[in-house]
Amino acid sequence: MNKTISTNQPMRKYGPRRYIPSIINFFLSAILIVAQFIWIASVIAWGAQGNYAINLGLQVIAVALTLYICSRDIRTSHKLSWTFLILFLPIVGIVTYFLFGRPELTSGKRKKMEAVLAQTGQYRMSDPTVTEALRTECPDAYLQSEYIANYGGYPIFREEDTRYYDSGEAMFPEYLEDLKKAKHFIFIEFFILGTGEMLGRTLEILEQKVKEGVEVYMIFDDFGSIQVLPRKFDRILEKKGIHAIRFNPFKPFLSIVMNNRDHRKIVVIDNQVCYTGGVNLADEYINAIERFGYWKDAAVRITGPATRNFTVMFLEMWEYARSEKMDYAHYLRQYEDDPYYRRSDYDAYMPQEGNGYVQPYCDFPLDREYVGENVYLNMIGRAHKYVYIATPYLIISSEMTKALVNAAKSGVDVRILVPAIPDKKLIYLMTKSNFRSLVNGGVKIYTYTPGFVHTKCFVADDCYATIGSINLDYRSLTLHFECGSFHYNTKVISDVKRDLYGAMQVSHEVSVEECEQKNVIVRTMLMVLKLFTPMM
Residues 97-141: pLDDT tens digits? 776 666 566 677 888 888 888 888 889 988 999 999 999 999 999
Give dist(CA 156, CA 323) in Å, integer. 28
End-to-end CA distance of the chain: 34
The mean pLDDT of 313-320, rounded to a whole number, is: 96
Per-residue pLDDT reduced to its tens digit, 500-519:
999 999 999 999 888 776 66
- Tell me the pLDDT tens digit for each residue of 449-475: 999 999 999 999 999 999 999 999 988
The pLDDT score that the predictor gives to residue 2 is 43
pLDDT band for position 81 (cuts 50, 70, 90): confident
| pLDDT: which is higher, 21 or 212 | 212
pLDDT of residue 36: 55
pLDDT band at 82 (very low <50, low <70, confident <90, very high): confident
pLDDT band at 35 (very low <50, low <70, confident <90, very high): low
Q: What is the pLDDT of residues 323-371, one digit of tens each?
A: 889 999 889 875 555 544 444 444 444 555 678 999 999 998 877 789 9
State what percent of residues in the chain have pLDDT above 90. 53
Q: DSSP string spanning 21-67?
A: HHHHHHHHHHHHHHHHHHHHHHHHHHHHTT-HHHHHHHHHHHHHHHH
User: Residue range 69-76: average pLDDT?
Assistant: 72
| Top-confidence range, 46-50, 314-318, 527-531 | 314-318
Contact 396, 434 (CB under 8 A): yes
The helix (H) or strand (E) run that includes residue 243 is: strand 243-247
Model confidence at 396: pLDDT above 50: yes
Q: Do residues 73 and 135 lie in contact, with contact meaning Cβ atoms separated by under 8 Å?
A: no
Read off the pLDDT band of 51 (50, 70, 90).
low
pTM summary value = 0.85
The residue type found at 301 is: R
